[in-house]
Copies of this chain bind each other. A is one copy, B any other.
């Protein structure tokens, strides 16, 4: 049994919706368990985080990077960092903003750098680009063509009942499945 934690901050529900998609992807893998942890509850769930085989980070992109709330969590983790508590766990990330591209990549880079500081191993999104030819559409998996992690786009005037669209939720679900399978492989390979 592998355990995959999803730590996320959601301002308006869109990131929470994606987190649930990631969790569904994880849960679709026999022998993998998903733990959804809103960043506000992270400290209360230290044991789950420290015991996880993989941690998936989720945050909206606000003004070009992870939210202040999510950054607080990153900073609290410095105590764990110092004792190498998360070293060699797998890590992955996802983000959402209103723009199609926006500065979402900067958020994913910020997460990957953070994970590297912890000595974690980064699992990206291995989907080929979607919606990148004349036969593509906004319904494609990986419609924003992101690789370091999963990107989603939510219209600024729509609630999480409709935004981000299904394509982005399916992409997040795919990432969850991929991370769970990688976590199983990584766990099996332990010497």
Contact = CB atoms under 8 A, between A and B. Distances in A.
A124 B88 CA distance: 10
A26 to B, nearest CB: 17
B74 A145 contact: no
Contacts of A82: 128
A113 B68 contact: no
A158 interface: yes
A161 interface: no
A126 B189 contact: no
Interface size class of A (residues with CB under 8 A): 35 or more
Given A112-B148, A116-B147, A125-B116, A99 B65 contact: no
A99 B128 CA distance: 10
A42 interface: no
Interface string A114-131: 111101111111101101
Contacts of A106: 105, 109-110, 113
Given A78-B63, A122-B124, A100 B191 contact: no
Contact of A155 (B112, B136, B146): B136
Contact of A98 (B122, B132, B135): B132
A99 B189 contact: no
* Among A72, A74, A100, A155, residue most surrounded by chain B Cβ atoms (within 10 Å): A100
A143 interface: yes
A110 B113 contact: no
Nearest to A129: B99
Contact of A110 (B64, B68, B188, B190): B64
Given A129-B102, A187-B189, A63 B87 contact: no
Contact of A105 (B67, B103, B184, B189): B103
